[in-house]
Structure 1
Amino acid sequence: MRWLIVLVSIFAIIVGINLILDGVYNVGSASTARMYDLARDPLIGLLIGILATALVQSSTTTTTLTVAAVGAGIVSVPVAIPIIMGANVGTTMTALLVAFSYMGERREFKKAFTTAAMHLWFNMLVMMVLLTVEMLFHPLQNISGELAEAFLGAGDTSAPTTHVVQAVVEPFIALIGTNGLFGMAGSAGMATLLTLGTGTLLILVAIRVMSYQLRMITAATAHSLLDKFSLSGPEDTPHIGVRSNLIGFGIGLLFTVLVTASSVTVSSMQPFAVTQSLKRRVILAVILGANVGTTLTATVATLAVVGVYGAFALQAALVHVLFNVIGSTLVLSIPRLSQMIISLAETSAGIAARSYTNALIFILGFYIAIPAAVLLLYTMMN
């Protein structure tokens, strides 16, 4: 029964994306693009990604909606890149908040917070480096474009399976879209608003439902694997260390692909950190795998996009994949980077443990208050 709900959720996500596309085509991409004008500044796009993800508590949702916007032609790939990077940072808020469930005991809190902070520092450091390089040389845009073209083939604008998906989805869009039920709302503007709103809500709910169902299916298996994995041998043995990192990365990737939420994977590492049944380097490897695993949903979502913008939607999804794969590869292959992230996380946890209130204020300020204030000020000035 749970697997049936998962399949229905995937179908609902694809329907939601098609409703968004239908709404955009009805009002015209030029009109809808005005909503995204703010994101043309890379810093503003980054803050939009952080704030949106912190509010919906799901980078998968933010990146999927961004891919849908690219597929609708209202956001270009260069504009989408900072938003996607911001989503990667915004999703780290969840595990930081979960760490406060351990605040009755400061030692346990520090261990849990260190795990969450490793997720934050990895994404922050990779974002700062890759966003700077991207603004100067555009490697992510160029490489993702080449990969999208290689996958689709020269001249093709959508994936080979897209037309099959569309044949199944199109009757639902015709029934409830701007030319169907919502088209009877009385005005084109209202029909568009209902279509866009329903599509967005459908994606939000479907991702939540799918994540919960998959979590129930896989939780016991994942924890059993990690319990067995925690008996791996001394971390300071080079052979064991490399093997442990690779196994941890694989578990993090697989579990996150199944639950569609990296924050769930990271939060589930906190009990292992508190009981010291997993070493921090191994936990970091699991977190890196989770970051790569969370890219799948947005990539699959490109199956819903047909037409001239299909290749651009796939390109935007591949940017998300490249961001996490490049960052994870660097950290796994350079031990000093791993140690730097762990050290920064431990320092952050030590500071947070001194005052729970100040730590919470900082988290809410960093993820919500500051981005919202900057966006408001930028909007007023422009």
Structure 2
Amino acid sequence: MTDQLNAREAGAAVDPEAAASAAHTMTVVADDATRRGATHHVSETEAFAASATAAADAADPGTQDATLRGPWDRWVPEGPARTWVNWLSVAVSIYLLISAVNLIGGGFKAATGDQAEQLFAFASNPIVALMVGVLATAATQSSSTTSSITVGLAAGGLPLEIAIPIIMGANIGTTLTNTLVSIGMIGNKEDFRRAFAAATVHDFFNLIAVAILLPLELMTGYLETLSGLLANAFSSVTGLDTGRADLIGTATEPIENAMAAATSGVPAPWGGILMIAVGIALILFSISFVGKVLKVLMVGRARRVLHTAIGRGPVSGIASGTVVTALVQSSSTATSLMIPLAGSGTFTLRQVYPFTIGANIGTTVTAFLAALGLSGANASFGLQVALVHLLFNLSATVIIFGLPFLRPVPVRAAQWLANRSAENKSFAAMWVLGVFVALPGLLIAGTLLF
């Protein structure tokens, strides 16, 4: 009995950072094994499985239980009750996280009024239209909203040559949300490194997609042509009643309404700015808290079950991202939910990567359903824009993820930026402000001036 107690005390003395470092080392070894497996013609799925297994077994579960301490350990006795409290706190933290994202979007709308939608009036050429898509989506915190607005404008006569780059810009702008979410783990260098890499892999994938497909579209018009053919095939089903239950919006509406009521007496734009500040504070709190709890929960069987559901391989990862995003009707929400899992070490960057690609595909469902509900002479143009969104994301998946020499580029770029940002937080600030604010704003302003 004494030996058991001594052993437990010795395990409890292990530095959690050392355990995390050991897990990180094993992940690197697993990645090396993956590369060697590719040389010996090991399948991609087997490589993912090997990586997942190595990550899960990096430390003995019993040791993890002994060394990792959750926020409730002091208050709730060990046993099933503590497990239930931990899982309940994860659910509440995720609810607060999603509510915080919606608060930021609502705050931007309150602070800017109709100016976000008025941005579309500046879309005079494809490059400016691309930047309008980035800024509008960053302001509304929803690519689905930007896509739906663009669908309506296309049905009202917006040229497709302008609508298509706006859709591409929306894909870039939507990645701001999970980048902001990753900042919630900035207090722990290694957690932030993993979380920021998981967030920015989405940035780099979409930036590369636009860099390849926008010039291709301007030269060939293949998206406009192919979407037109498909729109004609679907033209008989427009004008449908596509009323959809927005489960996420309904669930988080009470917090947004309460905050809107609390700031109703504050003059514009300060009421909206206050909502944004509260949203950011909620993100920082919820991500920090859920990260600590997940480190305790995501061991043993729970970790293996989650890896089986999402992290078994590229195909299952893309499928999971597509389905989850289609259900919650927001790629921002779906990818943001992966950030604490990545930051806590539950998933590796190579496992998060396919999920984010699937989220790109799943988010097109919202605009497609909105287009099916249009009626009138120009309804087919709205449907065509929605199909462009789908075809663009499918093309990006086939080209970037399908070509072996392009597939690792977003991962390597995200790792490079995350390493720099973990050592110097100004890199993260410059990335966010540069990509999502300064560059789009300067290009639009330059067009207006010259």
Q: Determine whether 1:97 maps to 2:173.
A: no
Cα deviation 1:98-137 (Å, max 9, x = unaligned):
1111111111111000101110011000111000100101
2:210 equivalent in structure 1: 127
Residue 351 of structure 1 is matched in structure 2 by 420
Aligned twin of 2:123: 39
Tell me whether 1:209 sits opposite 2:293 in the alignment.
Answer: no
Q: How does 1:1-382 map to 2 (within 5 A)?
A: 36=120, 38-73=122-157, 75-152=158-235, 159-160=236-237, 162=239, 165=241, 209=249, 212=252, 228-231=305-308, 244-381=313-450
Distance (whole Å) between structure 2 residues aligned to residue 226 and residue 136 of structure 1 = 47
Which amino acid is the alignment partner of residue 182 of structure 2? A
Structure-2 change in CA distance of 1:146 and 1:268 (3 Å): same
The Cα offsets for residues 267-306 of structure 1, whole Å up to 9 and x where unpaired, read as 2112222233223222111111100000011110112321
Alpha-carbon distance in structure 2 between the residues aligned to 1:151 and 1:256: 23
The alpha carbon displacement at 1:207 in A equals 9.3
Aligned-partner Cα distance in 2 for 1:37–1:165: 29
Offset, 1:35:
7.7
Supply the AA of the counterpart residue of 1:134: E
Please give the per-residue CA displacement for 1:205-250, whole angstroms capped at 9, x wherever unaligned.
Answer: x79725858xxxxxxxxx99986141589xxxxxxx9x61111111
What is the alpha-carbon distance in structure 2 between the residues aligned to residue 226 and residue 254 of structure 1?
A: 21
**For the Cα contact (< 8 Å) 2:247–2:328, is it kept in 1?**
no
- Measure the CA separation in 2 of the matches of 1:117 and 1:90: 12
**Alpha-carbon contact 2:119-2:132 (below 8 Å) kept:** no
**Aligned AA (1:312):** F
Structure 2: unaligned runs, 5 residues or longer: 1-117, 254-297
User: Do the aligned partners of residues 42 and 227 (structure 1) sit closer, same or farther apart at CA in structure 2, a change above 3 Å counting?
Assistant: farther
Whether the 8 Å contact between 2:238 and 2:379 is mirrored in structure 1 is no
Query: Would the aligned equivalents of 1:256 and 1:265 in 2 still touch at CA under 8 Å?
Result: yes
| Cα gap change, 1:232 to 1:88, in 2 (>3 Å) | closer
Aligned-residue sequence identity (percent) comes to 33
Query: Which protein has the larger Cα radius of gyration, Structure 1 or Structure 2?
Result: 2
Larger helix fraction of residues: 1
Cα offset for 1:373?
3.0
- Alpha-carbon distance in 1 for matches of 2:205, 2:170: 13
In 2, Cα distance between the equivalents of 1:362 and 1:36? 24
Structure-2-length-normalised TM-score: 0.59
**Matched position secondary structure for 2:320:** helix
Q: Is the 8 A contact 1:245 1:332 kept in 2?
A: no
Hey, what's the Cα distance between the residues in 1 that align with 2:437 and 2:176?
10
- Aligned-partner residue type, residue 210 of structure 2: M
TM-score, L = length of structure 1: 0.69
In structure 1, C-alpha distance between the alignment counterparts of 2:251 and 2:335, rounded to whole Å: 14
Deviation >4 Å, runs of 4+: 34-37, 210-213, 223-227
